[in-house]
């Protein structure tokens, strides 16, 4: 049965499958046949994702997106914020002594690992609320852990290994279960600002303020290559597909890296900085800006497709963005106390604001949606969860310090 499914899709015999997929608004719910076993469903979903045709409509669960306010001549129209507070349950957890800079869900969505400027990482068990520490020791280079601020992290698909980097310029590999460092790599000449894993092979990628993107092999624990394309420090990176990654930097550029071909494509924003980046699907990606803008990009155009100005309150910065891959749901965080939710409208090729969750103080340096499993999303039995960090200051500086804020994380659970 499995071989037959693979053969049909590889040869294109099942063209009706993809035609049907394009014709329907929520096609993934209709392509699964009653007789399909779990393996067949997974194969179909994987093939859909490879072809860039897997897409979930999640924003509809929040209601209609906000309409643009109509402007009348001679009158100033105030924008009315739509509150989403009643749609979420929330739990606050604290444990770090300084600003939280990175965060990742474990594959089972039962725990989260955060990194901080206090040189430590914490694994939070969401059921018992217990904390497990991956300790660091500031300025102690002989310690088997970070001796300066932790800035970025990533967790392997099986949850066994974690990769971290930071101001100490060392890439560290951790055994998550034993909370011990098992390998470290030197090579970057400045702060390591981002790390991401390639899900389709054993590679992972790191970027740095030294303007380089380095490739490493996780299975063999070795360095592979260095690539250069940015003209200033790189801020973030996100995996696109096999041997393909996107990064953004202080040069107001997005670089699309074709790692196996040793080639790069450059995308430039003439008006706005490019400070955060998230891949939406095989066509589109999203960036956030310290100019308080969110921009939508498509891979075959060098300029933004759509710009949403004044995403947060006046004079705010977009410090973080998050999304669920292959879906129309995304959000942004700043230091104005709100997390804003948006709908990516594929037909109109734009972004519309849905509403805001309020009462989230401090600098929201990082947000992460819980892992979305295809089967659960199709069966409508998954609970939407978003982890939001609270910090007294930004990840890479101290521009908007809020001394009364408690450094911690809030877990937002969508009510059914």
Cα separation of 407 and 97, whole Å?
7
On whether the CB atoms of residues 278 and 285 are closer than 8 A, the answer is: yes
Q: What is the pLDDT of residues 269-326, one digit of tens each?
A: 767 889 999 999 989 999 999 999 999 999 999 999 999 999 999 999 999 999 999 9
Q: Are 225 and 212 in contact (CB under 8 A)?
A: no
Render pLDDT for 330-373 as a digit per residue (tens, 0 to 9): 999 999 999 999 999 999 999 999 999 999 999 999 999 998 76
CB 203 within 8 A of CB 215: yes
**197/157 Cα distance (integer angstroms):** 9
Read off the tokens for 38: 């779990």
| Token pair listed for 265 | 């494509």
Structure pTM?
0.87
Cα 359 from chain centroid? 22
CA distance 342 to 332: 8
The tens place of each residue's pLDDT in the chain, 416 residues long, gives 445 544 544 444 444 433 333 333 344 445 566 677 777 777 777 777 666 677 888 998 887 665 555 544 444 434 557 899 999 999 999 999 999 999 999 999 999 999 999 999 999 999 999 999 999 999 999 999 999 999 999 999 999 999 999 999 999 999 999 999 999 999 999 999 999 999 888 999 999 999 999 999 999 999 999 999 999 999 999 998 889 999 999 999 999 999 999 999 999 876 788 999 999 998 999 999 999 999 999 999 999 999 999 999 999 999 999 999 999 999 999 999 999 999 999 999 999 999 999 999 999 999 999 987 654 554 454 689 999 999 999 999 999 999 999 999 999 999 98
Q: How many CB atoms lie within 10 A of CB 411?
A: 18
Domains of the chain in start order, with CATH, are 2-54 (no CATH), 82-414 (2.130.10.10)
């Amino acid at each position: 049965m499995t071989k037959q499914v693979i053969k049909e899709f590889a040869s294109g015999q099942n063209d009706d499958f993809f035609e049907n997929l394009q014709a329907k608004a929520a096609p993934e719910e209709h392509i699964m046949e009653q007789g399909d076993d779990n393996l067949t469903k997974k194969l179909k979903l994987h093939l859909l994702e490879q072809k860039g045709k897997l897409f979930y409509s999640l924003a509809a669960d929040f209601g209609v997106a906000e309409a643009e306010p109509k402007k009348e001549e001679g009158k100033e129209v105030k924008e009315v914020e739509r509150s989403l507070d009643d749609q979420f349950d929330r739990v606050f957890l604290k444990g770090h002594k300084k600003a939280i800079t990175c965060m990742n869900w474990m594959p089972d969505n039962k725990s989260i690992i955060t990194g901080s400027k206090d040189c430590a990482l914490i694994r939070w068990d969401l059921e018992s609320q217990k904390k497990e520490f991956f300790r660091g020791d500031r300025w102690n280079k002989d310690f088997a852990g970070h001796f300066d601020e932790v800035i970025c992290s990533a967790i392997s698909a099986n949850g066994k290994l974690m990769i971290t980097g930071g101001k100490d310029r060392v890439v560290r590999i951790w055994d998550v279960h034993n909370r011990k460092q098992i390998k470290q790599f030197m090579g970057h000449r400045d702060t390591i600002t981002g790390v991401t894993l390639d899900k389709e092979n054993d590679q992972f990628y790191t970027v740095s303020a030294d303007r380089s993107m380095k490739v490493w092999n996780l299975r063999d624990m070795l360095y592979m290559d260095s690539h250069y394309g940015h003209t200033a420090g790189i801020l973030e990176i996100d995996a696109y597909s096999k041997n393909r990654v996107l990064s953004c930097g202080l040069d107001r550029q997005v670089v699309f890296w074709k790692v196996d071909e040793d080639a790069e494509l450059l995308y430039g924003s003439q008006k706005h900085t490019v400070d955060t980046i998230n891949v939406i699907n095989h066509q589109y990606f999203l960036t956030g800006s310290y100019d308080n803008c969110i921009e939508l990009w498509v891979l075959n155009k060098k300029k933004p497709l759509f710009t949403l100005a004044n995403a947060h309150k006046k004079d705010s910065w977009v410090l973080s963005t998050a999304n669920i891959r292959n879906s129309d749901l995304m959000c942004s965080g700043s230091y104005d106390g709100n997390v804003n939710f948006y709908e990516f409208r594929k037909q109109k090729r734009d972004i519309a604001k849905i509403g805001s969750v309020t009462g989230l103080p401090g600098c929201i340096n990082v947000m992460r949606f819980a892992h979305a499993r295809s089967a659960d999303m199709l069966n409508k039995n998954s609970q939407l969860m978003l982890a939001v960090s609270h910090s007294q200051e930004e990840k890479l500086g101290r521009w908007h310090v809020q001394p009364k804020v408690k450094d911690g994380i809030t877990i937002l659970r969508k009510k059914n």
